[in-house]
Amino acid sequence: MVRRRKISTLFSPRNLLAGLLALQLVGLVLWGIFWPRTGDHVRLALVVPEIEQTDWQPLIQKFEATHPKITISLVSGPYTTEQREAIYTSDFQNSVAQYDLVYMDIIWVAQFADQLRELTPYIEQSQVDLTDFLPSEIRAGKFNQRLYRLPMRSDIGLTYYRKDWLKSGIPQNPAELKNQLTQLQTNPAVNVGYLWPGRSSESLITNFIEVLSSFGGSWIDAENQVGLDQPAAIQAAQQLRNLIAQDLSPEVTMNYTEEESLKRFQQADAVMLRGWPYFWQALKTMQPQVAITHPLSLGNQPASGCRGGWGFAIPKNAAHPQAAWSAIEYFTSADVQRQFALSSGFLPSRRSVFADPQVIQQYPFYAELRQRLETRSVFRPAIPQYRQASVILQQALGQVLQGEATAAVALSEAAQATRALLN
């Protein structure tokens, strides 16, 4: 019996999936190692999220047409943010980088800073005007006052809701939420109240950050003070648990990624969805109509949207840093950001693109989102140990959502572990 159990565990779907993902990551690394570089023709590789692949292809074609000595190979696949992070982390250890273009999440700046080139000399060389970028995006690209990441696209958390069921907008506090969703769920057409990504991942962190903001709390502040064992954080975690316990969100929420919650909302029997601006591309033609608003507040004050976004950096061990900069300068330009926003639904990082007439016509809500980015948004902590701190919090929130520990116990233990990590 013991032997059969061991064999079953070894070949379980979870282990097989992990093995396949490991092989895929190894394949990416080997692909980079044997990618040819000949003569004065430079070949760069760009790793992008799978959902962005089709939007990047025409941009790369236009870049190559104007830069005939540089070829960019687009690398994409079903890799999570954490797996793409691992690709770069491994590549930083090579004597010469295989990925001269680092397309990076906003949360990686402090973590990657020691392995990246400061961009200021390149910016001065090309006389790039940084004043057109959102000031908060430029600040987010800095660590210890040095700029390592130039923003391509910004992001902020939102709530989508059914206009026919919530004619006056989303509930403004937990009591309203419970009353309205409980009443709506007596409608045979309503099967689900509020959808959000509850799987232990970075998506859960962004959702928690928004709920935490509605209690006036913080995870790790600018002085590295940990607030997870404070009343605000404990209440925020408990409110997420209450959504499931009170059947305002389905229990399967704990298994949902962002994309899975979006697909579930598209079945047209859910009232609200936590998401990102690019979801609009999938929901704009949905009938009955869907509206967009600020994140749901589960606390005693309005919630702020969690900031996301991606930008470009150059590794210190880059083989072709100047070619990489040429690509970065091109892709972060106003014209390219406009094209990318129109095709993908992702927010730009340049103010002029938010004000572009064609962009405004396609996305009339962009003006409000630009204001929210600068005044009603919250960042995750900019610390070199971010990945480890995120895992600690994910595990604690998972325990709370699954009812394995109270919010007070799980968050207090997470606070202790986080303080030990930072010290």
In the chain, where the domains are located: 28-155+308-378, 165-307+382-422
Cα separation, 248 vs 84, in Å, equals 34
- What is the reported pTM? 0.90
Would you list the DSSP string of 351-413?
HHHHT-HHHHHH-TTHHHHHHHHHHSEEPPP--TTHHHHHHHHHHHHHHHHTTSS-HHHHHHH
Q: Kindly report whether the peptide bond that precedes residue 288 is cis, defined as omega within 30 degrees of 0.
A: yes
Using the predicted structure, report yes or no on whether residue 15 has a pLDDT greater than 50: no
Q: Which CATH superfamily is domain 28-155+308-378 in?
A: Periplasmic binding protein-like II (3.40.190.10)
State the chain's mean pLDDT as an integer.
Answer: 92
Burial state string for 314-328 with b = 16 or more CB within 10 A and e = fewer than 16: bbebbbbbebbbbbb
DSSP helix/strand/coil, 155: strand
Percent of the chain predicted with pLDDT > 70 = 91
pLDDT score for 21: 52
pLDDT score for 77: 86
State the pLDDT confidence band at 326, using cuts at 50, 70 and 90: very high
For the segment 357-386, the average pLDDT, to the nearest whole number, is: 97
Convert the pLDDT of each residue in 102-117 to its tens digit: 999 999 999 999 999 9
pLDDT score for 3: 37
AA identity, residue 110: A
Are 28-155+308-378 and 165-307+382-422 equal in CATH topology? yes
Cα separation, 389 vs 391, in Å, equals 5
Tell me the fold of 165-307+382-422.
D-Maltodextrin-Binding Protein; domain 2 (3.40.190)
Percent of the chain predicted with pLDDT > 90 = 89
State the pLDDT confidence band at 39, using cuts at 50, 70 and 90: low
pLDDT score for 28: 52
